[in-house]
Amino acid sequence: MQLDTLYNRALNFEFLSIEEGMYLFNHAPIAELMFVANELRKKQVPHGKVTWQIDRNLNTTNVCIANCKFCNFYRIPGHAEAYITDMDTYRVKIAETIKYGGDQLLLQGGHHPELGLDFYTKTFRAIKNEFPTIKIHALGPPEVAHITKLEKSTHKEVLTALKEAGMDSLPGAGAEILVDRVRRLISKGKCGADEWLAIMHEAHKLDITTSGTMMFGHVETLEERFIHLTRIREVQAMKPADAKGFLAFIPWTFQDADTLLAKIRGVHNLTTPDEYIRMIAISRIMLPNIKNIQASWLTVGKKTAQICLNGGANDFGSIMIEENVVSAAGAPHRFTYRTIQEAIKEGGFEPQLRNQQYEWRTIPEDIEEQVVNY
C-alpha cells in the first residue's frame, strides 16, 4: 500500500477498508495523519469553530445486572447503596442545571430488573411537564434492549414510546467495542454488537438522532477497533436520506482504577497520548459520513484533547455538570463554562456553545459558574 494513495482516497471521502485503515494507523507519520484528518474536518465543518455543550449526566438508577467488568458505578439489586432517582431529586438538579446554563439531561442508568417501559415513559413525561425546554438525551442501545426484553416487545415499539414520552435523542452508550468476542469478556450482560447496531438503525428510521462511541484500550485488538469503525459507518450509510443519524462519534479510553478488569484480569489502560491522537485522526478518516468528531477531554485530559483539535476533532463535548460513571473508574478531569472556553482558545480555536443537535446557542446572560474541585 502507498500512503499517498490512501491519503488522497481519504481526502475524497472514500470508505477505506479495515486493512487500509490499519496500515495508516501503523505506518503514517502522526503529523501526516493529523494533516489529512484536519483537512477533512475543515471540509466537513467549514465554520472552523470548536463546539461545546452544557449538560448534566443524571442517573435514573445505579441498579444493574449487566455486571460490566469496567464499571465501578453499578450496585446489584438489594444493595444498601442501590437507588432509583425520584422526581424531587430531578427537580432540584434540573433547576441547578438551568442555573448553570445547561439545556439538557443525559439520563442513563443500569439494567434494573424491575424497571420497564412504563417507568421510563412516566419519568420522561414528568420531567417534560415541569421543564418543557429541557432536552432529554437518554438511555442507550443496551438499556433499550433490556427494556425490550422485559416488555417482550420490539425495538421499534420501545423507541417510539420513549420518543413520544419526551426522549429527544439517543446516546451511543454501551458500544464499547462492537465485536462480540470483546463484549463477552467485558460486558457479557449487555446486548451483542448486532443488536446495538440494529437499535441505532431503528432509531434513525424513527428520526431519533444518535451518537456513536468507542471505548478502547482494554482487551480489544487493533483490528477490532477498525471493525467497530466500519460497522458504525455502515449503519450511518443505511439511514434514511432525511435523517441525521449519528450526529457525532466519540472515542474514549478505558478508565481502569479499581475495576474488575484491572483487579482480576490485570487489564490496564496503556493508551498513550500519541495513540489517542491517532485514533481521533483515524476516526475522522474512517468515518467520512459522520460530521462531528469529539475529543474526550474527560478521559485523556486537556492537553491531549487540545492537540486533537488540529487532528480531526471539531467538538469538545460537554462540561458535564455532573458525571458519575466514568469518574468512578478514575477519570479526574473537570471544566466549567469558562475554563472549557479558555481551553479551546488555548488550542487555537474559537469556542461555540451548542445544543445536542449541533445548533448554536448563545451563552445565557444570567449564567452562574459552577464551583469545581479540581
**pTM for the structure as a whole:** 0.91
Beta bridge partners of 169: 137, 209
The stretch 258-271 carries a mean pLDDT of 69
Q: What integer is the mean pLDDT of 4-16?
A: 97
Q: How confident is the model at residue 332 (pLDDT cuts 50, 70, 90)?
A: low
pLDDT at 227 over 60: yes
Say what the pLDDT of residue 265 is: 64
Convert the pLDDT of each residue in 271-311 to its tens digit: 899 999 999 999 999 999 999 999 988 888 899 999 999 99
Does the pLDDT value for residue 263 go beyond 70?
A: no
- How far is 99 from 233, CA to CA, in rounded Å? 38
151-156: which pairs have CB atoms within 8 A and are 24 or more residues apart? 151/116, 151/117, 153/117, 155/198, 155/199, 155/202, 156/202, 156/205, 156/206
Q: Topology of domain 3-353, per CATH?
A: TIM Barrel (3.20.20)
263 vs 8, more confident: 8
Name the grid cell of 36. Answer: 489529512
Min mean pLDDT across 124-133, 201-210, 256-265 is at 256-265
In the predicted model, what is the mean pLDDT of residues 100-108?
A: 93
